[in-house]
Amino acid sequence: MSSTPSAEGPAVTRDLLDNPLTGEERKLLDAYRLLRELAREAPTPCVAANVRAALAPIAVAVTDLGLSFEHLLDDGC
């Protein structure tokens, strides 16, 4: 699969109902994990603010699809 292991651990390959991810879902989770990493790295204010602003709706999308369910307050979202 295309998901790349990250600081958060090995790539997720199944959703909350233990179904295998589709290609679109894997890409969405990749984007979500990448944005989370960027949000945690505390880059310059303009990057941090915009990454967080991008992360919030992506988090909603992964929740909508039942791929992941997290609260994100610790990431500033």
Partner 1 sequence: MTVAAPYWNPKTECMPREQLRALQLAKLRAVTEWAQARSPFYRRSFAAARFSADQLRTLDDIQRIPFLTREQWMHSQDERPPYGELPVAGREVAIRLHTTSGTSGSTPLRALDSRKDWAWAAEMWAYALWGIGVRATDIGYVAFGYGSFIGFWGLHYGLEKVGALTIPGGAQTTAARVRQIVDFGATVVATTPTYAMRMAQEAEALGIDLPGSAVSRLVLSGEPAGSIVETKTLIERQWGAKAFDTAGMTEVSTIFMFEPENQPGGCHIIEDHFIEEVIDPQTGDRLGYGERGERVCTSFGRSMIPLLRYRTADLVVRQPAAAAGNGRTWDLYEGGIVGRADDMKLVRGTNVYPGAIEAILRTHDGIEEFQIRIERRGARDEVVLQVEPHPRFDDAAWTALAEALVVELAEAHEGLLFILERAATGALPRFELKAKRLSDLRPAGAHTTVRA
> What is the three-state SS of the chain?
CCCCCECCECCCCECCCCCECCHHHHHHHHHHHHHHHHHHCCCCHHHHHHHHHHHHHHHHHHHHCCCCCCCCHHHCC
Q: Is 53 in the site for partner 1 (CB under 8 A)?
A: yes
Output 4 or 62, the one with its CB closest to partner 1.
62
Please identify, among the stretches 2-10, 29-37, 40-48, 65-73, the one whose residues bind partner 1 according to the rule CB under 8 A: 65-73
Of positions 6, 8, 16, 20, contacts partner 1 by CB under 8 A: 16
Instruction: Answer yes or no whether residue 65 interacts with partner 1 by CB under 8 A.
Output: yes
